[in-house]
Amino acid sequence: MKPDLYWTVDIGGTKMLMLLIDNQGEVLVKNKYDTPKPSEPAAIVDTISRALLEASKEKNITGADKPSGLGICIAGFVDHHKGLVYQSPNLEWHKPVPLGGILNDQFDCPVLIENDTNAAVVGEVYYGAARGHDNVIYITLSTGIGGGLFLNNRLYRGNEGFAGEIGHTKPFGKGRACKCGGNDCLETWASGSALAGSAATLWDENAVENGHISTSWVFDQADGGNILARSIIDHAANNIGLGLSNLVNILNPSCMVIGGGVAANRTDFFHKIVININKYAIRPAVEKTPLKIVPAALEPEAGIWGIYNLLAGRAV
Ligand SMILES: [Zn+2]
């Protein structure tokens, strides 16, 4: 008897990653695709379809031994029960898209649509930086800020699947509109885009559009000793630490995983965040266990390995 197979697809803002994995965790096919621009739902579905057909051809998969499930992780507000993506600002989906239903009709197999950071926390728990922990907070610091909660040994989605949206807690400043429709969310003041945006208000605003001011540019300026750049970064680290310490006080995790390109390989920034979490959280929540705060280990595949485990019936 052939082992169960699972399709897994991560839909990123610029790249889509597709892995075909068997029930022993062996990767049979791994392919990358450019995310279509514009990222309209029909174009995304076409790319997923192409990815699955190419993998089937590569492994001679026929109808009789087709995969047992298809899992999709996507940035946005997702109702996993209905397979409905309410909103995905990264893909500029501003109206609900019944992605699960569309894919189920097309491939005739169970389809699980999951928020990418919900999937990522599960991936980090099973194969990554949070192995052995039952209560974990995952946060990604990228162009936006996302979060995932793993509580009492299972993924915590909340009522509809929208739990863990640390990036949209507020207020962390004054006067910035967020893509979610709110104002002064954490991600408007502390994400990669926010760092560049803060710099733009202090340097030449046109420079952002010209590509001169980016998140990396701000860090480079700070490394070179620029006081303004350092203050922008310190302010962001303070806000992130404050936001995460509130979660620590509410949820009492034993492990917190920090992922995303903004903190990756920037140990000073990472440590500033850690210092601020420890500064603002209640003493027992960081000292008694003590709280482990670590960089993500599986990027850029944390979401893929999370959705794989969810498809296989773990963490649910
Ligand atoms: Zn927001």
Which residue ranges make up each domain of the chain? 5-116+301-311, 129-295
Q: Give residue 29's pLDDT.
A: 96
pLDDT in the model for residue 70: 96
> What's the pLDDT at 47?
97
CATH number of this structure's domain 129-295, picked from the four choices 3.30.420.40, 3.40.50.460, 1.20.120.420, 3.30.360.10: 3.30.420.40
**What confidence score (pLDDT) does residue 2 get?**
63
Q: For ligand 1, a single-atom ion, which residues have Cβ within 5 Å?
A: 168, 178, 180, 182, 185
pLDDT at 67: 84
The predicted model scores a pTM of 0.94
> From CA 197, how far away is CA 235, in angstroms rounded?
13
pLDDT at 206: 64
Burial string for 40-63 (b: 16+ CB within 10 Å, else e) reads ebeebbebbeebbeebbeeeebee
What fold characterizes domain 5-116+301-311? Nucleotidyltransferase; domain 5 (3.30.420)
CA of 44 to the centre of ligand 1 (A): 24
Q: 115 alpha carbon to ligand 1 midpoint, in Å?
A: 16
Å from CA of 178 to ligand 1 middle: 5
CA of residue 250 to ligand 1 center, whole Å: 20
Please report the pLDDT score of residue 49 as a whole number: 94
Ligand 1 centroid distance, CA of 61 (Å):
43
Number of other residues whose CB lies within 10 A of the CB of residue 175 = 8
Q: What is the pLDDT of residue 146?
A: 95
Nearest by Cα to 293 from 280, 311, 308, 307: 280
What residues of the chain score a pLDDT lower than 70? 1-3, 64, 204-211
What pLDDT sits at residue 124? 98
Instruction: Give residue 254's pLDDT.
Output: 98
Measure 166 CA to ligand 1 centroid, in angstroms: 9
pLDDT of residue 316: 81
CA of 169 to the centre of ligand 1 (A): 7
CA of 87 to the centre of ligand 1 (A): 12
